[in-house]
């Protein structure tokens, strides 16, 4: 296996981008990533694109052919990857495997979703298809309600409180306020979260990630060639993926995600690091309870102590471990297919020392955690500054 580095990343601003089409978004992010890598389209050998629901949300299938066309990359192989909200993370891992195996040298990985052109109800229905359509969505269980069930059970088993969940939103909005790409660049208080409209009890609007348009792109090359393109290559030292039962009722426990636990264990072994070595992590906080479960399942604290760790401020910027410095899905926004690649961009900026007001001091090891649906897919990547 060859070692793999990220040499360029690019994002669009996340938000309600009514003046940008799906193809505008991914092309913009792609142009930024190529410029960041000092490359042109002619240097690229293959493209992997993650999108979850372009067919449902904008009526467009065959999206990687469209991306290759609009980015001027024809006739390279262009492959779509779909794994619900983990589509971007799985696309990244697929690109990583293509470079590591020696099949391709210069790979562009993109993630994109255009979600705000249809009503919230249509989005909820499209996203709900990432759970068990027959046994969950058809019965009325959309994603907020599935995560509400997990939250209730976590509260019952571990004494987690609504205030502790709300602290995740307060922290992530604080970080998003320092990120020019974020959908919500404003700080909020605990009271804002606690008094916001109930979506599916105990989850309120400010416990939920929003509906977002956006795109993210990363360029991968073999590490041995990386310095041709950048002075600060960031190595992907581990990339692991696992799956789990699709529906909540089939799982042994709904207060942990086994796919996260398994992918994390493999990633730590591959990278030869432990949870305590991670300086900065982008975790999948599609709902505030999801961040609490993620920091537990990734081993940053003991099971059941995610709420306490968050309320004590240990996951804040430059605290014990800086979690979701981009603002996470909650503050930065969650264009579902793009999120996994955006997480990579944030960690690359952190490890290069380019994160501005939200820079984690001396960050050397970063982790990304991208979940599909209610946890049936999980990808964990670990990145380090290359020496
Ligand atoms: C929470 C949710 C239901 C709110 O949707 P909604 O009630 O239709 O909200 P609207 O679009 O009408 O927005 C109303 C206001 O709330 C704000 N808002 C909407 N969602 C928000 C969120 N998650 N966080 C903070 N503010 C939010 C909007 O910006 C808008 O503010 P404005 O009036 O100042 O412009 C929707 O964001 C949602 O479904 N989120 C979950 C998405 C999801 O399931 N993703 C996949 C996870 S696995």
Query: Ligand 1 within 6 A of 15 CB?
Result: no
- Catalytic site residue 32? no
| Residue 119 CA, ligand 1 centroid: distance in Å | 11
3-state secondary structure of 289: helix
Question: 43, 106 in Cβ contact below 8 A?
Answer: yes
Q: Of the listed 106, 334, 369, 378, which one is catalytic?
A: 334
Q: What is the mean pLDDT of residues 372-384?
A: 98
Please give the model's pTM, rounded to 2 decimal places. 0.98
Tokens 């102590």 locate to 305
> Residue with structure tokens 């997990």?
150
In angstroms, the Cα distances linking 72 to 27, 40, 287 are 9, 10, 37
Check if the beta carbon of residue 109 is closer than 8 Å to that of residue 66: no
Average pLDDT over residues 179-197: 98
User: Cα(277)–Cα(267) distance, rounded to whole angstroms?
Assistant: 13
- CB-ligand 1 contact for 147 (6 Å cutoff): no
Task: Give the count of beta carbons closer than 10 Å to the beta carbon of residue 61.
Answer: 11
Alpha helices (H) along 81-142:
87-100, 120-128
Ligand 1, pocket-test mutation among 205, 209, 374, most atoms within 8 A of CB = 205
| Region 164-174 average pLDDT | 98
Cα dihedral sign for 80, 84, 90, 92? Answer: positive
Does the active-site annotation cover 62?
Answer: no
Q: 120-128 vs 143-158: helix axis angle to the nearest 10?
A: 70
Strand 365-372 relative to strand 322-323: parallel, antiparallel, unpaired?
Answer: unpaired
CATH number listed for the domain at residues 139-208+236-385 = 3.40.47.10
The separation between the first and the last C-alpha atoms of the chain, rounded to the nearest angstrom, is 19
Do residues 332 and 14 touch, judged by C-beta distance below 8 A? yes
Provide the pLDDT for residue 305.
98
Tell me if 229 CB under 6 Å of ligand 1.
no
Residue in 237, 221, 292 with CA at minimum distance from that of residue 260: 292
pLDDT band at 387 (very low <50, low <70, confident <90, very high): confident
- Contact indicator for 347, 308 with CB cutoff of 8 Å: no
Q: What is the pLDDT of residues 212-248, one digit of tens each?
A: 999 999 999 999 999 999 999 999 999 999 999 999 9
Residue 59 scores a pLDDT above 90: yes
From 210, 287, 333, mutation site for ligand 1 pocket: most ligand atoms within 8 A of C-beta: 210
Q: How confident is the model at residue 115 (pLDDT cuts 50, 70, 90)?
A: very high
> Choosing from 85, 208, 301, 332, which is the catalytic residue?
85
CATH number for 4-118+212-234: choose from 3.30.420.240, 3.40.47.10, 3.40.50.1980, 1.10.10.10. Answer: 3.40.47.10
**Whether residue 208 has its Cβ less than 6 Å from ligand 1:** yes
Which residue's entry shows tokens 């940053």?
300
Per the CB < 8 A criterion, the answer to whether 296 and 310 are in contact is no
Q: 4-118+212-234 and 139-208+236-385: same fold?
A: yes
Give the whole-angstrom CA distance, residue 21 versus residue 352.
31
Span 320-365, pLDDT tens digits: 999 999 999 999 999 999 999 999 999 999 999 999 999 999 999 9
Q: What percent of the chain has pLDDT over 70?
A: 100
Percent of the chain with pLDDT over 90: 99
Residue labelled with tokens 């990630």: 209
Q: Is 356 buried (19+), middle (13-18) or exposed (0-12) by CB count in 10 A?
A: exposed
- Whole-angstrom Cα distance, residue 289 to residue 314? 16
pLDDT at residue 211, rounded to an integer: 98
Cα gap 343→341, rounded to integer Å:
5
What's phi and psi for 368, nearest 5 deg?
-120, 145
Counted residue by residue, the chain has a size of: 387
Q: Which residues, 6 or more positions from 156, have their beta carbon under 8 angstroms from its beta carbon? A: none
pLDDT at 162: 98
Domain spans of the chain?
4-118+212-234, 139-208+236-385
Smallest CA-to-CA distance from 215 within 90, 333, 111 is with 111
Q: Is 284 in the pocket of ligand 1 (CB under 6 A)?
A: no
- What is d(CA 226, CA 242) in angstroms, rounded to the nearest whole number? 29
């Amino acid at each position: 296996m060859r070692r793999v580095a990220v040499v360029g990343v690019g994002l669009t601003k996340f938000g309600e981008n009514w003046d940008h089409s799906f193809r505008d978004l991914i092309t913009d992010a792609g142009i930024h990533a190529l410029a960041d890598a000092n490359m042109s389209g002619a240097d690229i050998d293959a493209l992997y694109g993650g999108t979850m629901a372009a067919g449902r949300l904008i009526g467009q299938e065959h999206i990687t052919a469209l991306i290759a066309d609009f980015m001027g990359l024809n006739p390279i192989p262009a492959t779509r990857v779909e794994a619900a909200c983990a589509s971007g993370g799985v696309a990244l891992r697929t690109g990583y495997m293509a470079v590591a195996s020696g099949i391709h040298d210069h790979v562009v990985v993109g993630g994109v979703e255009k979600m705000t052109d249809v009503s919230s109800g249509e989005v909820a229905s499209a996203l709900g298809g990432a759970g068990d359509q027959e046994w969950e969505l058809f019965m009325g269980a959309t994603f907020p309600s599935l995560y509400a069930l997990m939250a209730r059970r976590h509260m019952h088993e571990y004494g987690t409180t609504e205030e502790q969940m709300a602290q995740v939103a307060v922290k992530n909005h604080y970080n998003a306020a320092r990120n020019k790409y974020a959908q919500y660049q404003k700080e909020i208080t605990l009271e804002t979260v606690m008094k916001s409209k109930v979506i599916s009890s105990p989850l309120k609007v400010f416990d939920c990630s929003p509906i977002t348009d956006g795109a993210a792109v990363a360029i991968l090359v073999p590490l041995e060639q990386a310095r041709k393109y950048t002075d600060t290559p960031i190595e992907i030292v581990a990339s692991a993926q696992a799956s789990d039962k699709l529906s909540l009722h089939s799982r042994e426990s709904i207060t942990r995600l086994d796919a996260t636990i398994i992918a994390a264990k493999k990633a730590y072994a591959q990278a030869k690091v432990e949870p305590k070595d991670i300086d900065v992590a982008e975790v999948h906080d599609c709902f505030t309870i999801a961040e609490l479960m993620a920091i537990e399942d990734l081993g940053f604290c003991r099971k059941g102590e995610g709420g306490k760790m968050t309320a004590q401020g240990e996951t804040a910027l430059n605290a014990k471990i800086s979690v979701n410095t981009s603002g996470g899905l909650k503050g930065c926004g969650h264009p579902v297919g793009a999120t996994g690649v955006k997480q990579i961009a944030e960690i690359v900026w952190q490890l290069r020392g380019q994160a501005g007001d939200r820079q984690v001091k001396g960050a050397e090891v970063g982790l990304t955690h991208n979940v599909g649906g209610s946890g049936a897919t999980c990808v964990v990547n670990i990145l380090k500054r290359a020496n």
